[in-house]
Chains A and B, each alone.
Chain A
């Protein structure tokens, strides 16, 4: 009985953590971005301005949740839910420590890739259902961007799978006992990192919502909690990608002295901060440049990575 209760507690804990983290990330991003941009950021409510999280939540819950009369109501409502659900589903397969984690699927990596592909529907459907030209353009960009970056996001991870000999994320972490995969799979890491940025559509890959061009892109027509869901979905996405980078390339929970969960948390925070740093530093490429870069540079590179890894393993085994 206590086992079951413990299991339930872990599941609830792991699934709630990204939501709480998402709320905190709003604060973190605003303060960190402000620091990088020579300004203060929200620093008035509560200690270190942390109260802004609460204020934001109150605001977003109490705002009028308006569905435009010209929108496709059912799809319009469904779209923001998709991004949060798929994000949380991905969290389920991430091994946080040796013992903590919702489930250990033997195809965990494929499950993550499937969920991130599903997440695209959220953006595309939102853009379509809004019946707004800016939203439509955003949705179109999102679908094109995701379709192309999905391809080598998967391919870039195949090197890791080859080396670990398993699709189970727990096995992959365990396989990094001697050396983190960042070393032998550096190319794979770079490609996955870029594809992950594109997947979460964060700057410099925020083309679906490029505010200077498309106002707010696919979520132009959203307000209230539905808008909030996109926001949360984006941060859950950032968290998941960062967690996957940690799991696949940086040895997951492993590290000296400190307990596993602390190591996992520190590595996660580091990559989240890198995401924010990139947002502060880089301009946004044009849509066709992004596609060209993906198909002409990243795809061949990820194939090359796969072939070289496979060849090296064959030689080594032989």
Chain B
């Protein structure tokens, strides 16, 4: 990010130095404050006019600033709406913040520039009550339509015990059910076309092909999908709100459950973000252990996807083979972490324990075992002619569309766009590893599958390198804010003992500031934006997940295809419900 100030200079050249102020953050890219009036011109300039534009609206969220103490130099604001832009051509991020007052929390919509702004703006409306004027359908997205209040506002209760007992009398149940009734007119859909009635089919919330609770409403002409409407939020558990009442340390287990197939990969994004706030250096050994466990989980996640994708197009057996292989990964994970799917094993400053005795043999066995299995799966799945007929040419999008809609990960690489955050912005020592970034050309279901399958092989390469080059040293940083702190010296002097005691009982006190780290997670780019007010708990935790952006593309990908193709498309984008709804 050597040319980071370039964008700032360009903005200054176009709008003058008074149009914005720059905020210091720990995130390593510029964060600018501008006014509501300037915002549309800013966004338009950055998306369409500037050379090497910011093509992706990576994230759009808000911060309730009303109870924040330490915001030196920042403009007055009750609610700050934040646009996180990403330029692949520059390999650069840019954050634009707009202050809003409580009585007048409204902004013009950005859906005209980025189609992906649609869901993000709905989420901000749902969570903070910030209106977006001109939005095509500004209504709740994660919370039930009957919900009162906006959960991420600070005055909204965070615990069920603050809310009184839950009751569901008949009339309320009927009201809730009525709210779920789908009326095509509400979404600008027609019921008939040239004398034919459309059939509206509810796929989900309970459906074997959706891999979780999501509802996709299909507008069908025969079996052809005219249009469709994904409805999310059934899996929403308020992870971001929970972040605001957990200590920095005790939030780690919650992250495990965001992309619940990614295990410690979620921990990594979070702890890296916390470490960025602190400015902590991590010992080499801890970094390599982290990389190894993350790559094991990448394989585990891809194996689940592999089997279930094959099952979605009717191939029954592959899922049993891949789940068996995943068990082998879990054997290793269990030996190392003690847990299986959700080990919660990374810590601020390192990992929870050192590797157990004999880990090399387990990992080596797995690395030797897996390639033959992959070759077998190639035969039964990828080279099968019916499988190809079902997936090739289905659900294709171009690289431009992918960038426009905020697609990251294998879905982007399948369009021929070689972009892997492990390569382009190495974190946790990935620059020390030798691996390739697989890409494909056509961006259809089959190509997305090809990319993932090859990624499994590349992950095996990385694990093999971890195995052969595991550095000596400590598994945790000796920084005082590493949690729980290292114990060796606690019994030798009183200062260390007090520090240790406070750090364990209260949790670490993280210095005030803002950070952001996005990593190449199993399904795409997973980022944690943390705001600290200098306390033992985060002031705001924003979790940017890849599946949210990918799911929003479903209507684009499935218009004009048939019902079975929708299942192939759903399988190929590899989403996890908790990763969408958080």
Contact = CB atoms under 8 A, between A and B. Distances in A.
Contacts of A289: 389-390
Interface in B384-425: 384, 386-387, 389-390
Contact of A280 (B312, B317, B564): B317
Contacts of A280: 316-317
B283 interface: no
* Best-surrounded residue of A134, A204, A280, A285 (most CB of chain B within 10 A): A285
Contact of A283 (B201, B310, B324): B310
Interface string B208-222: 110000000000000
A212 B312 contact: yes
Interface string B560-575: 0011111100000000
Interface stretch (A33-41, A67-75, A189-197): A33-41
A231 interface: no
Nearest to A279: B316
B209 A283 contact: no
Nearest to B202: A133
B172 interface: no
17 contacts: A36-B317, A133-B199, A141-B223, A212-B209, A212-B567, A213-B566, A280-B317, A281-B315, A282-B384, A283-B310, A283-B386, A284-B315, A284-B564, A285-B386, A287-B223, A287-B562, A289-B390
B380 interface: yes
B489 interface: no
A290 to B, nearest CB: 10
Contacts of B389: 285-286, 289
Interface in B353-393: 380-381, 384, 386-387, 389-390
A293 to B, nearest CB: 9
A37 B316 contact: yes
B263 to A, nearest CB: 24
B338 interface: no
B562 A286 contact: yes
Interface string B304-326: 00000011111111001100100
A19 interface: no
Interface string B280-321: 000000000000000000000000000000111111110011
Interface of B: 199, 201, 207-209, 223, 310-317, 320-321, 324, 380-381, 384, 386-387, 389-390, 562-567
A1 B223 CA distance: 59
B317 A210 contact: no
Interface in A244-296: 279-289
A206 to B, nearest CB: 8
Q: In the A-B complex, list the 6 residue pairs whose CB atoms are closest, starting with the nearest.
A: A284-B314, A283-B315, A37-B320, A283-B314, A212-B209, A283-B313
B321 A37 contact: yes
A213 B567 contact: yes
A268 B564 CA distance: 33
A213 B384 contact: no
A113 interface: no
Contact of B317 (A37, A204, A288): A37
Nearest to B566: A213
A213 B563 contact: yes
Contacts of B209: 212-213
B563 A137 contact: yes
Nearest to B224: A288
A215 interface: yes
B314 A215 contact: no
A98 interface: no
Nearest to A212: B209
A65 interface: no
Q: Is the interface of A mostly helix, strand, loop or mixed?
A: helix
Contact of A38 (B223, B311, B324): B324
B311 A282 contact: no
A243 interface: no
A36 B380 CA distance: 13
B321 A215 contact: no
Contacts of A212: 208-209, 311-314, 567
A104 interface: no
A56 interface: no
Interface in A179-216: 203-204, 206, 210-215
Contact of B314 (A33, A37, A141, A204): A204
B575 to A, nearest CB: 15
Nearest to A283: B315
A279 B311 CA distance: 12
A211 B314 CA distance: 8
Contact of B380 (A203, A215, A281): A281
Given A204-B386, A210-B564, A212-B209, 6 more contacts: A141-B223, A213-B209, A214-B563, A215-B208, A283-B384, A287-B562
Nearest to B200: A133
B202 to A, nearest CB: 8
A281 B317 contact: yes
A43 to B, nearest CB: 16
A117 B95 CA distance: 66
A33 B320 CA distance: 11
A282 B311 CA distance: 10
Nearest to A284: B314
Nearest to B388: A283
A281 B384 CA distance: 10
Contacts of B312: 212
Given A133-B201, A215-B208, A284 B321 contact: no
A282 B315 contact: yes
Contact of A284 (B313, B320, B563): B313
